Each structure stands twice: as structure tokens, then as C-alpha cells.
Structure 1
């Protein structure tokens, strides 16, 4: 109850928002469970089931939000109830596809305690990594919004639109590559990483080159003349997001080789660089974002080099346990 009061006072004395924030853990739990099962499907190479589940999830959430909105005549509660209901249906749909996860545990399988001891780095290092990424993403929005609320709107439209090709390309590549990376024997990882980088480069270079050239013309054409700046923000973000396509699949290499500490160290720098630039930049906001896009692209080049060095060291030392 004390927490509810603090939330109510902080969020404009909204009783409705207060209680929804208090039970936000429900949707976090559902998303976590869905993600866990999807990782199982990825590990088993069942990419068709993953694709079908994602289609079902998007459809279920949107449909439930629509139904809840019609019944409740719109509002925040309708959106949240529709989202939670859609996520719950998705989890039920997904669980029915993995009956093997509900069978009795193999007596020879490791216990939960043994798994916790073996993979203690996962929550200890991956958790802070996600937290740092959240600070970076929200911090960038806060700095741009502080400079201009209108610029933030234009930037967000460009960002969300440019995420579509990033998700389409890197999402499909990452799923297949994670399984191959997990099964890679020492001596085969570095060639595998180079092959995936080359394929991701070939898949992304043409669409991102076209976006860089045409974005200032496409955005006002598609979204209206008031969104002309979004096209220039999209052009500014193109180098960063192009490199994001290349790095997204191979970022799992630090997890597979149990070198999350390196990824966390990079994440801290990757967070500090853009926020420091946005804080100290003497340039107008548009030019600032152009420099930001180039800075982040250079940072991701550094990450590529780190990944290749990690793969070579894994190949040379002969396995995860020997990599330090």
C-alpha cells in the first residue's frame, strides 16, 4: 500500500494508473515465460513454431485490445487488459506446442541447483546489461526531448519505422545463428561468425542504402508533410541501425562462450558515449543526431572486433571452460 501511494503521488495522482503499475509484474511474467519457451524452440531448431507463435501473439494482443476497447469504450484499462489477455492466450498456445516440457524430468538431467551453479553468470551479468541498455534508450529520448519535444516526436517516428527492416533481417538471422553457435565445436566458431556477418551484410546493404538515399523523401510522402524532419532523422540513424543488423546475431557469442563480462563492459561504454555526446553537443539537434548515428556505428564496429576475437580465442583454447 505504501508503494501504491508513492506511485499515485508521482504519476499525477492517478488512481487508475497507480493500480495498473502495481500489477505490471503480470505482463512481465507472461513475456518472460513466452521468451523462455521461444528459446527452447530456438535451441531445438523449431523456427516454424516460433514464426507461427509470433503471428499469433501479434494477432491475439491486437484483437484483445480491440475487443476490450469496444467493451470498455476505450481507455488505459482496456489497453492493458487487452495486452495481458493476448499475452496469456499466446502463452497457452505456445505451451500446447511443447508437451515435452511438461513431462517428468529425466533422472540423469542436471538439477536446478546444478544449473544455477553452472550458469551463475547469466543473471549476474545479463541483468545489469539489460538495465544499462534501458538507461541508454530512455536517456537518449530524454536528452532529445529536453532539447525539443517536437524533435523527439520526429526522432521516435524515424526510430520505430527504421526498426522494421532491422527486426526482419536480424531477427530471422539471430534465431538460426544462435542454434548453430551453441553447437559450434572449437575451431569452427570464427568461420561461422564471418559467414553470418557476410550474409547479414548482403541482406542489409541494399535496403539500408535505399533508406539512406530516399528517407527524406519517403517520410513526408507516407506520413504527411509535417513529418519531413523524421526522414532526415532516419537518414542519420541509418549507419547505426545498419551496424545493428550485423551485431545483433553475433552478440550471442558472448553468452555462448560465457564471456558476458565483456558484453557488460561494452554495454556501459555503449551507454556512456551517446549520453555524453547528447549532453555536451554544441550543435543543433539534427546535426547532433547525425553525429550520434556515426558514433554508435563506430561503437558497433568495435563490438564486431570483440566478437571475432572472442570466437578466435574460443577456437584456440578448445572450449568454453578454458576461455578467460
Structure 2
């Protein structure tokens, strides 16, 4: 055991994959620690209804995952830094255009969209959603540039600052007027702070590339857009469907059950999702950067990296998540108040999903690295159909909300397991090609 621990410490101290993960994860861990410590306060200020309205607003923003049409994912890939900067320029232009489009959609048919969710109070917050969309999109572009230049420390600092600013605003504003608006505005404030930190960390790199001020041209952007066309054609639809799979359940629960049920689910996913966010976020960003390098140098080793990382993540999470499943129903009511006890019961039902998500979801960037966007798209479509089908069936049969939550968790678990084996198969084929 001592030699095992010593080996882990040696790997942490050495520059490389694990150290980079810890650099990013430490910041994410700090941000989530802020969320943990503030949750008992926030959840005694705000009601399950307030959290449910916030969850519906977030669901309506699910398209923000493709704010740049996924061109930002191509930023770490080129061998030359100047080419990466051109892609970053393209991504920003696309984000601006998408923001205008989203604003027009909410202006023209926002009322009908909100009416379909059976949460009329959300209409009050539609005006701010396009602005949040813009900040989310620009932040993702800056994040990809930071990953390109291995600014992992800055990524960690941005995560802590984002969470701190969001919680601070929501707490102070909630003490004055505890409404869902304060929760939504907190998201805006947090993302604005993160965007500023990302941009500040890149000042040296930005000023060193004359292409930004001297060589910006629509022709360069058009060439980059055509060369990386798989991202908007395949990755963007896949990501939209991916986000829809996650956000469809809160919207359906709001329609067929109540905003309280949405609030309980949101709390369960928020708190038990902490280790997924903390470690998974660091793994996903660093895994993307390292796998992109490996693809250019030793692509036959990608399968080993993918399976080894997934296996390690699975071993890390098993015992903690099983303990959470046992203790959650008791802890939630005690810490957050009696009205939140049901959220603890939801946690127990969703533990299989959390385990699969922790071990497999952070590695999904590998499909972009090996140009397997079609695989990702097929998987996302299948997951969306499965989740919506089961959730709608449970509501149609008038099953209890807890049964609906359990079916949702099983559907998510099955989809992640299928993704792991499908991706492994694609990587094995790639390895066999290079071995010939």
C-alpha cells in the first residue's frame, strides 16, 4: 500500500497528464466546495419552486452548448498556433451571430415556449437569457484557447471565481428579495467573472500573434469554417441532442408533475454531481488536450489511454457513491430542511447513473479527436429517444414521480455503457489501421 501511494505522489509531482488534471480539478474542487458550503444557506433562502424555475431557465438555454457551433473544439487541434487563433476568431463570430438568433427566437415565440413548459413565471426572465447565452459561448471559446496553451491554472482560478461570484450574488440578493430572478442573475454574474479571468490569462498569447490584428479576414475564417465543417455538421447537432437529453427531463417533469419535483431533481444532480464536476471537468479538458497530441504522434495508443482512464475513474467513484446512496435521504432533510428530504430519495435512485457518468462522460471528447462525430451523433439521438420515451411513458401512465426519476436514471446508465463500448470499438479500428 505504501509503495502504491508513493507511486501516486510521484506521478502527481511530475509534469504530465495527472498533474494537469489536478491543476484543473483543484480549481473546480474549490468552486464546488463553495457550492457545498453555501447550499444550506441558499436552500433556506430559496424554495423548491424557485430552484425549479431556475432549472427551467437553464433548460431553455440548452442550445448554449453549441453557441460556437462547436468550432471551439477545433482550437486545440491544429499543429500551428496561428491556425488555432483563426479558429478562435471564427468561433467568436459564430457566437455573436447565434446570440442574435436566440434573442429573436425568444422575442417572437418566447411566450409559446414558456407556455409549453407549464411555468408561466419564466416569461419574466426571457430577456436575460440571450445575454447569458452570449457569455457562456464566449467563455467556452476562451476556455478552449486556454486548453490550447495549457493554461490549466487559469482554468482552475476561473472556476473558483465563477462559483464564488455566483453564490455571493445569489446569497446577498436573496436576503433582500428571494426570487428566482436572483438565482438567474447569479448565473450571469458568475460567467462574466469567469470570462474576464480567461481573457486576462491569455493577454500575452493574444498580443504575440500579429494575425489577430493584421491578418484578420473573412477569407481566412471561411477557409477555417470549411476545413472544420464536421464540427457544425455533426458535432453541433450531437451536442444539441446531448443537451436536450439532459434538459428534456426537467422540462417534462415541469409539464407533467410540478416545479417542486424539478427543484428536488436539480438539487440531487447539483450536489451528487459535485465529484463529477470536480474531477470529471479536469479529466475532460486535460484528456482532450493530451489525446489531441497523441492523435498526431501515436494514435494507436488512444485506445489504451481511453480504457485506462475510464477504469481508473470507475474505481475512484464506486465506494464514495455507494456511501452517498445510503446516507443521502437522511442528510438532505437534516442539512437543507424537511422540504428537501425528497431530493435525498432521488439521489439513491440516480446512483447508477452518477457512477456511469463519472467514469465515461468526461472522455467523450475523444470522438472529436478521432473525427468520430457521427458516432457521437447516433449515440445522442438514441439517448434522447430513450429518455424522452421513458419519461413520457411514466407520465402518461400516471406513475409516481419517483418511478419516473428511477426510469430516467436507468436510461442514462444504459446509454453511457453503450457509449463506452461503441467508442472502444472505434478506437480499436483506428489502432488496427495504424498497426498495418
Q: If the length of structure 1 is used for normalisation, what is the TM-score?
A: 0.83
Residue in 2 aligned with 1:162?
272
Residue in 1 aligned with 2:211?
105
Q: Deviations over 1:187-208 (max 9, x none)?
A: 1101111111122112211211
Residue in 1 aligned with 2:403?
287
| Structure showing greater relative contact order (alpha-carbon pairs closer than 8 Å, 6 or more residues apart) | 2
Q: Decide which of 341, 351, 355 is 1:242's aligned counterpart.
A: 355
Partners of 1:76 and 1:278 lie apart in 2 by 26
Distance 1:280 1:23, change over 3 A: closer
Q: Decide which of 272, 276, 288 is 1:178's aligned counterpart.
A: 288
> How well do the aligned residues superpose, as a CA RMSD in angstroms?
3.4
Distance 1:89 1:194, change over 3 A: closer
* 2:147 paired with 1:42: yes
The answer as to whether partners of 2:111 and 2:123 remain within 8 angstroms in 1 is yes
Moved more, 143-152 or 256-265: 143-152
Q: Deviations over 1:277-322 (max 9, x none)?
A: 1222344332332233223212211100011112112222239xxx
Residue in 1 aligned with 2:422?
306
The aligned length equals 316
Moved more, 204-213 or 217-226: 217-226
Partners of 2:112 and 2:311 lie apart in 1 by 52
**Cα distance, 1:166 vs structure 2:** 1.6
**Cα distance, 1:65 vs structure 2:** 5.9
Residue in 1 aligned with 2:164?
59
* 2:244 paired with 1:135: yes
**Cα distance, 1:177 vs structure 2:** 1.1
Partners of 1:222 and 1:52 lie apart in 2 by 28
**Cα distance, 1:148 vs structure 2:** 2.9
* 2:195 paired with 1:91: yes
Distance 1:98 1:297, change over 3 A: same
**Cα distance, 1:244 vs structure 2:** 0.6
Partners of 1:159 and 1:56 lie apart in 2 by 21
**Cα distance, 1:241 vs structure 2:** 1.4
Partners of 2:128 and 2:408 lie apart in 1 by 37
Partners of 1:46 and 1:2 lie apart in 2 by 36
Distance 1:267 1:59, change over 3 A: same
Q: Deviations over 1:197-220 (max 9, x none)?
A: 122112211211111222222222
Q: If the length of structure 2 is used for normalisation, what is the TM-score?
A: 0.63
Distance 1:244 1:313, change over 3 A: same
For the residue of structure 2 that corresponds to 1:318, the secondary structure is helix
Distance 1:158 1:8, change over 3 A: closer
**Cα distance, 1:147 vs structure 2:** 4.3
Partners of 2:251 and 2:181 lie apart in 1 by 26
Q: Deviations over 1:116-150 (max 9, x none)?
A: 22210111222222322333233212333344324
For the residue of structure 1 that corresponds to 2:280, the secondary structure is helix
Distance 1:96 1:177, change over 3 A: same
Distance 1:317 1:211, change over 3 A: same
Q: Deviations over 1:144-175 (max 9, x none)?
A: 33443243333332222222122112112212
**Cα distance, 1:24 vs structure 2:** 3.7
Runs of 5+ unmatched residues, structure 2: 1-103
For the residue of structure 2 that corresponds to 1:151, the secondary structure is helix
The answer as to whether partners of 1:147 and 1:285 remain within 8 angstroms in 2 is no
